[in-house]
Structure 1
Amino acid sequence: MLKRIAMLSAHTSPLEQPGDGDAGGMNVYVLELSRQLASRGIEVEIFTRATSRHQPQLVEAAPGILVHHVPAGPFEGLQKNDLPSQLCSFVRDVLRAEVEREPGHFDLVHSHYWLSGQVGTVARERWNVPLVHTMHTMAKVKNAMLADGDDAEPIGRIYGEEEIVRLADRLIANTMEERRELIELYDAEPEHVAVVHPGVDLEVFRAGRQAAARSLLGIPEDAALLLFAGRIQPLKAPDVVIEAAARMLHDDPALRERLVVAIVGGASGSGLDRPTALTDLSERLGIQDVVRFVPTVAQSDLADWYAAASVVCVPSHNESFGLVAIEAQACGTPVVAARVGGLSTAVSDGVSGILVDGHDPRDYAAALHPLLTDPELREAMSHKAVRHAESFGWDVTADRTLKVYAEAIEWHRTHVEKNA
């Protein structure tokens, strides 16, 4: 019986605010999955790197969920690419958590992102427990779809991911496309890769409240609200949203009376190197009067922004899934997104939103304009968006993940016995 899981999220804490720094969809994934597991009577201990000397070493995030803040390198000032050099310290403290308990304290390790996967391979061997790994993003895929201004992922990450694929008992892919990439690009054994879609909190992200949300946020009732939500970095392509808005205003000057473009999120990754890039762009295009920049907000506040929006745009160069797209649709808001990665699963093209090939702002303007100006089209897509999102509840994600855990435990047991 599965009693206790070690959840590894080395580079970003599930307690951090998504949309800022390195915090994003993965943070939501780890915490929501842990909550679902805890509700089923499974204890979850999450290990993440401490980023402040003021953080307590141990936090009860919710009943049945403990978060360990592991000291590993300087608390502040480290970028994600600096973290591989600190993994030895992180591994040491993770392994110590087992040493200080009775043997067999953990039944399974679930690691997230390649840095955690490296730690997971060591824990798997030392604790003799199965390792389940979720990539979230992959270097070979990112390097094939780099945005202007983004740096290529280092070869060390590629080697690390290849090792994780070879050693993990099971791999969880967010979509069939990601499964294919793991098999074709990383030589993963097909029977070791399971597809489990991430979920959405259908109690927080809910539809039918646009007027109330707009009143709360100070958005005019008749506004055509175009929303981008996420980390501000080239990978997420918020510049495409601003350029598409400028194109729409050029082609339809009357839209200026109602258009509001909200960019919600904080700088991350290479976006930290150019903190004023988007404000400079909006000024250069002459649309600074319609663009509103909003710092990262809590999930409940983000739900208000989704509900208030006429359409949400997700023009990312790559997404392993795209939680923003599902969250927006759960709030009854159609999505215009890039036809990349998991967004092809997250958005039902022509039904709950529109998928766009490439990243030409003119193509996004053409897709966005009807949803901003045609109430009947938007209303029709809104209802379908809600129905589409309802199939992505976190309870479904947890049930499917538990099946993967059971497969990993059985495979690990028989494999270890055969090689004993």
Structure 2
Amino acid sequence: MEVGMHPVAVIGAGPQGLAAAAHLLERGLNPLVLEAGPSAASAVAEWSHVRLFSPWPELTDAAACRLLEPTGWTAPTRGYPTGAQWIDEYLAPLADQLGDRVRYGARVVGIGRKGRDLSVDGGRADQPFVVHVQRADDEEERIEVSAVIDASGTWRNPSPAGADGLAAVGEKKAHEAGLVDYRIPSMQDAAEFAGKHVVVIGSGHSASTAVNTLVRIAQREPGTRISWVLRRGAVGNTFGGDTADELPERGLLGQRAKEAVESGVVDLHTGFRAERVSIEDGRTVVISEDGRQLPAADKVFVLTGFRPDLSFLSEVRLDLDVRLQAPASIAAEVDPNLHSCGSVRATGAADLAHPEHGFYIVGAKSYGRAPTFLALTGFEQVRSVVAELAGDREAAARVELSLPDTGVCGGSGVFDAPEDSDRAGSCCAPAPQLIQLGTAPVAR
């Protein structure tokens, strides 16, 4: 179907969704941004207290800046913003400039081809997409669009504590009781955790961020205990690339966490794969598959990564990797089982295309369950995808991004390697047989 006959739907008014809309406008196409939340970047607002480890120049998109500059807006150039600052100083002004092209309280619940279900081939590509939207007033509507850019992210679909990828027995009940949470704590939680035992489960940047925040709380509130739980049998690259990381703040994030463990402020538990979460006298006890159990905790933060919500894409023809749920053509590039030597290459329209012509997944969701996504990657994705939709194949194929090195060599390490094994995290180590996922590296 010819792009331009209908608007291009962009799902999500986050950093990549808003950038996609700016590129569409610049190309003379009509964007329609559908945001489930009540405001722009509503997911970012939920971790507004967290400071990003990417500097300002890596957090703004070029087309978005060009759209904003006539209003007198000036791009921030120094420092590392919090989520709240990212919204206030860039994302909210961008959404305001896009005006009524952004619709809030519009949750996408399904996408299909007009008059064709998943099994129908005939004339499929000639039909518009039909996006089913659940509005804030509980009414549902169908919107015909020429193409779809899914930038809905993964924030509201966190991975559970259970090591088998499913919620541990009792985890949902503990979450409902307020004993298990999937967010990053803030210093405002200091009074709540004073003198208490807090557990962090996870090995990615969000887990390191949580540990560092809790260490600051413990320094202010003596008697506060912190336990950090890793599924893998060895620390591996949990502490990141240190001074070799080309994003210095990301390197410092892991270094601070490492120092907290080495000083004894944080108790580190490796090879601990949660199977059960029980509630005893108003506290939580986490039990592993091998029968070990942690001391009763007052709070458990589960920061084991995120996964894409594919529930509303059941009528879209997708080509996804069976392990990571990322587009098959980029899965090997982002697979944490295989490598983390430097950064993955930039990805564009050709990498992100699916059998459903005119449908693209961009942003953190395009990496599926992999934890290596950066904002810069997403901006390059939407630039290329929009160029493809506009018919500019040359621009779509061009790479206009050089990603910073992580300073970490090797994959996640052999999953069951002993703590002192020299194979943990080695470039020469064979790929482990199980997936160990961290969280998307967006914050420190």
More RCO (CA 8 Å, sep 6+): 2
Give the TM-score of the pair, scaled to structure 1: 0.31
The structure with the largest helix share of the pair is 1
Give the TM-score of the pair, scaled to structure 2: 0.30
